[in-house]
Amino acid sequence: MPVVHVNGIQLHYEEAGEGEPVVMIQGTGAGGTVWQLHQVPALTAAGFRVITLDNRGIPPTSECPEGFTLQDMVGDVARLIEHLGIGPCRVVGTSLGAFITQELALSRPDLVRQAVLIATRGRTDMLRAAITRAEIELYDAGAELPVRYAAVVRALKSLSPRTLDDGEAMADWLDLFELSPAAGPGQRAQMELSTLDHRLGAYRGIRVPCQVIAFADDLITPAHLAREVADAIPGAEYELIEGCGHYGYLEDPATVNKVMVEFLTGAAAR
């Protein structure tokens, strides 16, 4: 199990494939293995070396239950890239992972060759702040929801109506969500970072080639907020994928992988 000691923590990562490196960063509560079902095979087939990691807060990486900042997580990725000697490299992030990626592109452009920002935003609106605060309050109350109920709520938040109306697909998704581990203290710490400060003005200073991928049915990071990020970053490309919710890279991986690989191998890569 590859582990590197960075910024006072133990950071777990995995590698696959050969070629130019791509670092992939997951969102709140998710480990790097989520990428391995669809995105890692697509990128390795395209000739890339793919590095996935478990963010600070997600075991076997240090949980850091005392809490941490977004900049701590940015620093973790920067130190991993430096440790592996792969900078500047391509970086892909989704949700919280996209927040990390765009902040890394801003503060350490020497480490980032291209950035793909999936399901991102550059500010927190009223509804997204309320959702985050409600989830934190539920965790802090020590409430244990019935597993099936929690799975249904997660599905409603994370998937598109197209998937929700597909009985066969939903049976699989609900089974998967029921098997997911309960949130731990590290995930609780990550939740605090979902209330992102207003950063759109700062992102006008990003000079790294960026692609923003948004999902038309995303409740957690709606497409109009992702569009704001693309509009703020000079020269950023924007792709809106229909029929997908927050987990669009799992709902329609073929489309997501196609647009991502085309960006990573296209004119912006040269």
pLDDT, tens digit (0-9, with 9 covering 90-100), for 65-108: 999 999 999 999 999 999 999 999 999 999 999 999 999 999 99
User: Does position 261 have pLDDT exceeding 90, yes or no?
Assistant: yes
pLDDT greater than 80 at residue 127: yes
Mean pLDDT in residue range 208-236: 98
- Which residue among the candidates 54, 76, 217, 246 is catalytic per the annotation? 246
Beta strand extents in the chain (DSSP E only)? 3-6, 9-16, 20-25, 48-53, 89-94, 112-118, 210-215, 237-241
Catalytic residue, from 72, 217, 218, 252: name it: 218
Determine the Cα–Cα distance for residues 161 and 128; give it in Å rounded to an integer: 19
95, 158, 160, 194: which one is catalytic? 95
For residues 270 and 266, give the distance between their C-alpha atoms in angstroms, rounded to a whole number: 7
The region of weakest confidence among 57-61, 176-180, 228-232, 238-242 is: 176-180
Per-residue pLDDT, 1: 67
Distance CA 64, CA 141 (A): 20
Catalytic status, residue 246: yes
Percent over 90 (pLDDT), the chain: 93
Is 218 a residue of the active site?
A: yes
Task: Provide the sign of the torsion angle of the four alpha carbons 248, 254, 259, 260, taken in this order.
Answer: positive
Q: What pLDDT band is residue 182 in, cutting at 50, 70 and 90?
A: confident
pTM summary value: 0.96
Known active-site residue 160:
no
Query: pLDDT tens for residues 143-167?
Result: 889 999 999 999 999 999 999 999 9
User: Residues of the chain with pLDDT > 70: what percent?
Assistant: 99
pLDDT band per the 50, 70, 90 thresholds, residue 132: very high
pLDDT at 59 over 70: yes
Strands 48-53 and 9-16: antiparallel
DSSP 8-state secondary structure symbol assigned to residue 143: -
